Structure 1
Amino acid sequence: MTLFITGTDTDSGKTLISAALLTLAKGKTAGFKPIASGCDNTEAGLRNADAQALMAAANTELEYATVNPLSFEPAIAPHIAAAEQNVSLCCELLNQVMDFDALKDLDFALVEGAGGWLLPFNQSETMADWVEQQGWPVLLVVGVKLGCLNHAMLTVADLKARGVTLAGWVANQVEPDMDYFQDNVDYLTQAIDAPCFGVVPYLQRVSVEAAAEYLHFPDSFQTS
């Protein structure tokens, strides 16, 4: 199956959670980062740290260009970075560069978005439009901090309005000294009509292995 990972904002912890879930999944696994900005210019070409983290966590080896087909060097909004390279970011382009055959060969695939759910492609299309076209269920990573409840519920509302399945959500504490962390998690648990895949506390030493200890797949969720 294929699961799309979105977050409440850019620094919600999508990649950490995605990589951790890949290590927990059964069967042939891989992660994809279709669009990435803030890439490093290496001898091998542009490389994105998030995409490389997904590759390291997967048990199926894929070419970098398959995992991250659209990469841009400036650490700015992808549609702006694309425009600087005379690339017209749109749903059609993503359909052209994404290797859907690679997805079909896997038991479990994660496709990680960039930024939040409504990341713009252009003046009329967003990442949400593309995911809606694919029919993928979505996992929402909530970067728990002040303001996250509004961001989370706005995302949930848009998913519902589009008829996109919310497979579940993860609470990820992104600030070490957040007041009323558990109160925020309790609210989300009551308000979101989807299973929680885990509550990850603030990690002093961030690692995929540490995050995975706090995550699980609900019994109703099949990864292969």
Structure 2
Amino acid sequence: MSARGLFVTGTDTGVGKTQVAVALIHALRARGLRVAAMKPVAAGHAPGELNEDVAALLQAANVAADLRDVNPYAFAEPVAPHIAAQQAGVRIELEVIAAAYSRLAAAADVVVVEGAGGWRVPLNARDDMADLAQRLGLPVVLVVGLRLGCLNHALLTAESIAQRQLPWAGWVGNHVDPAMARQVENVAALRARLPGSCLGVQEFLHEELASVAVLQWLTLPEELVYLNSLK
């Protein structure tokens, strides 16, 4: 089997992309697949330690890989990737990330790639996260942070994904604000307006509980395993 992949993006930072990526990895592993994980750009970690998102992805995956391929660009300060790179005297290059992805894909059946921040977060003076997704050519899983304003954010993101002519793998709603008004109505509006399947809606979880609940709510359609291969 040639490797397939999924690109996990979000309506914003802090909406649960890593939690969803980990859930996807476990669901794919449960089908007997060799699953590699990738966080092309990570910002925010203590000196000498891994970024916590990268660590979670590594723990979930069942394909051993060079850390430099799993996380080609790592920056200590938790700021926008292009700013972190500028401060470090580095330019984030899409071709470097694409080459790392190809090495992971050669060893795996599926590669789950988690973006940084939201869909249009800049990576350098010219490219952003959407350009990276387009370069990899992967079906997109959109994580919607369920809070006030999520309808606008989700629909604008979906519109931009469609403009890139990338395939949809589905979307996930994640309650990040327990006080959000009219939660049921907002989710219903998303179901009616977003393309692709709803893979799950996660109720609000305190951070310490999130990691133990990732397998309880995600639905992985059979066809997700057989989505477009990379060329």
TMscore range, shorter length: over 0.9
- Given candidates 56, 64, 81, the residue that maps to 2:84 is 81
In the superposition, the TM-score normalised over structure 2's length comes to 0.89
The answer on 1:37 being equivalent to 2:40 is no
- Given candidates 208, 212, 218, the residue that maps to 2:211 is 208
Partner Cα separation in structure 1 for residue 189 and residue 101 of structure 2: 38
Partner Cα separation in structure 1 for residue 106 and residue 140 of structure 2: 18
Number of residues of Structure 1 aligned to a counterpart in Structure 2? 220
* 1:165 CA drift (Å): 1.0
The answer on 1:52 being equivalent to 2:58 is no
Partner Cα separation in structure 2 for residue 110 and residue 146 of structure 1: 29
* 1:124 CA drift (Å): 2.1
- Given candidates 152, 163, 166, the residue that maps to 1:150 is 152
Deviations 1:81-113 (A, max 9, x none): 1011111223234335x2412223212210000
Partner Cα separation in structure 2 for residue 85 and residue 122 of structure 1: 13
* 1:170 CA drift (Å): 0.3
Q: Percent identity of the aligned residues?
A: 38
In the alignment, residue 54 of structure 1 is paired with which amino acid? L
Q: Any gaps of 5 or more consecutive residues in structure 2?
A: none
Assess, with a 3 A threshold, how the Cα gap between structure 1 residues 209 and 20 changes in structure 2: closer, same or farther. farther
Answer whether contact 1:138 1:164 (CA < 8 A) is retained.
yes
Deviations 1:126-172 (A, max 9, x none): 11112112211110000100111111111100111111111100001
Partner Cα separation in structure 2 for residue 5 and residue 33 of structure 1: 10
> Over the residues paired in the alignment, what is the CA RMSD in angstroms?
1.6
Farther-moved stretch of structure 1 (20-29 vs 180-189): 20-29
In the alignment, residue 143 of structure 2 is paired with which amino acid? V
Partner Cα separation in structure 2 for residue 69 and residue 219 of structure 1: 31
- Given candidates 11, 16, 22, the residue that maps to 2:14 is 11
Q: Any gaps of 5 or more consecutive residues in structure 1?
A: none
Farther-moved stretch of structure 1 (196-205 vs 106-115): 196-205
Partner Cα separation in structure 2 for residue 69 and residue 133 of structure 1: 16
In the superposition, the TM-score normalised over structure 1's length comes to 0.92
SS of 1:169's equivalent in the other structure is: strand
Farther-moved stretch of structure 1 (85-94 vs 174-183): 85-94
Structure 1 segments of 4 or more deviating over 6 A?
A: none
Partner Cα separation in structure 1 for residue 214 and residue 185 of structure 2: 21
SS of 2:224's equivalent in the other structure is: coil
Answer whether contact 1:34 1:112 (CA < 8 A) is retained.
yes
Partner Cα separation in structure 1 for residue 22 and residue 94 of structure 2: 25
